[in-house]
């Protein structure tokens, strides 16, 4: 696990876009795993900028999103489908048939989850998975629990997650209580993983992730077992990391 602490959230977004750009140079038909929320917005803005200036070609990319709220139609303003359209897909030439997201209102949940897993496998697996991290250590919507689901599944959201996401809705009562999410095993199958963390609110959980043993009570700790994980954090999110406090250069850490 490589830890990189940068001066600003803008620098985090650019660094993540750099990783995606390098992958695209190596493999123009790569498969990207994408995330939502506030953290990856800087990355998406930078990818769009590079596309508009001709630095980046993304028409042959295939994408799979981490999760979707259960019970929301695609046209719901707070669905992750709408988020991705607004913040990325409308500005890039990725064909719609190459864009994949878990359905918010599947007729049969288990069958739909299995189909999503099969689609990822048929695409050749995810080359680079972009992640955020919840204040309770969740990745995707894999919440702290006694055990974790390996594959795409219907997940009950923790109350802290519901409260954190309430800012996007008119009231906390409108926040969905469930989501369909990639499982920990699905995430861990990605060839590379880039986790983004920005802001003071993520400082404590990043510190815990750095020192934590592998435990289902901190789902992100599973990433310690992956051979190619990069953590990109800004100064605020990384402020409690011991090597930052000691002034050790982050590019020497792994």
Say which CATH number the domain at 197 has.
3.40.50.1360
Residue 192 DSSP SS3: strand
Q: What is the pLDDT of residues 192-231, one digit of tens each?
A: 999 999 999 999 999 999 999 999 999 999 999 999 999 9
Residue 146 lies in a domain: yes
Q: Is residue 194 situated within a structural domain?
A: yes
Active site residue 76: no
Residue 80 in any domain: the answer is yes
Is 73 an active-site residue?
A: no
Where are the strands (E) in 62-174, listed by range?
62-65, 67-69, 99-100, 128-131, 153-156
Give a yes or no: residue 42 inside a domain.
Answer: yes
Domain that holds residue 137: 2-245
The verdict on whether 67 is a catalytic residue reads yes
pLDDT tens digit sequence for 58-110: 999 999 999 999 999 999 999 999 999 999 999 999 999 999 999 999 999 99
Name the active-site residue from 65, 136, 142, 165.
136
Compute the distance between CA of residue 141 and CA of residue 179 in angstroms, rounded to an integer. 7
Is 253 domain-assigned?
no
In the set 67, 117, 127, 234, the catalytic residue is 67
Q: What residues have CB less than 8 Å from 12, skipping those under 6 apart?
A: 6, 42, 43, 196, 197, 198, 232, 233, 234
Catalytic residue among 117, 127, 143, 234: 143
Please check whether residue 186 is in contact with residue 164, taking contact to mean a CB–CB distance below 8 angstroms: no
Q: Is residue 219 part of a domain?
A: yes
Say whether 189 sits in a helix, a strand or coil: coil
What distance in Å separates the CA atoms of residue 234 and residue 42, rounded to the nearest whole number? 12
Based on the structure, what is the number of domains in the chain?
Answer: 1
pTM value surpassing 0.85: yes
Give the distance, in angstroms, between the CA of residue 194 and the centroid of all CA atoms in the same chain.
8
Is there a catalytic annotation at residue 138?
yes
In a domain, 201, yes or no: yes
148 within domain boundaries: yes
């Amino acid at each position: 696990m490589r830890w990189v602490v940068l001066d600003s959230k803008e620098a985090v977004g650019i660094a993540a876009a750099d990783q995606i750009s390098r992958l695209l140079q190596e493999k123009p038909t790569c498969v990207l795993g994408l995330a939502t929320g506030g953290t990856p917005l800087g990355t998406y803005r930078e990818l769009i900028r590079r596309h508009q200036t001709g630095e980046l070609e993304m028409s042959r990319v295939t994408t799979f999103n981490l999760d979707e709220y259960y019970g929301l139609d695609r046209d719901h303003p707070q669905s992750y489908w709408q988020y991705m359209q607004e913040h990325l897909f409308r500005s890039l030439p990725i064909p719609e048939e190459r864009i994949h997201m878990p359905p918010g209102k599947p007729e049969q949940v288990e069958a739909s989850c299995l189909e999503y897993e099969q689609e990822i496998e048929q695409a050749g697996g995810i080359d680079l998975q972009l992640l955020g991290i919840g204040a309770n250590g969740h990745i995707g919507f894999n919440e702290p629990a006694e055990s974790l689901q390996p594959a795409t599944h219907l997940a009950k959201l923790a109350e802290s997650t519901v409260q954190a996401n309430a800012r996007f809705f008119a009231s906390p009562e409108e926040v969905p209580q469930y989501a369909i999410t990639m499982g920990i095993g699905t995430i861990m199958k990605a060839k590379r993983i880039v986790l983004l963390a920005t802001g003071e609110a993520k400082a404590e959980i990043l510190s815990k992730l750095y020192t934590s043993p592998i435990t289902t009570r901190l789902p992100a700790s599973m990433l310690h077992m992956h051979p190619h994980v990069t953590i990109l954090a800004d100064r605020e999110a990384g402020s409690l990391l011991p090597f930052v406090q000691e002034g050790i250069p982050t590019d020497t850490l792994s």
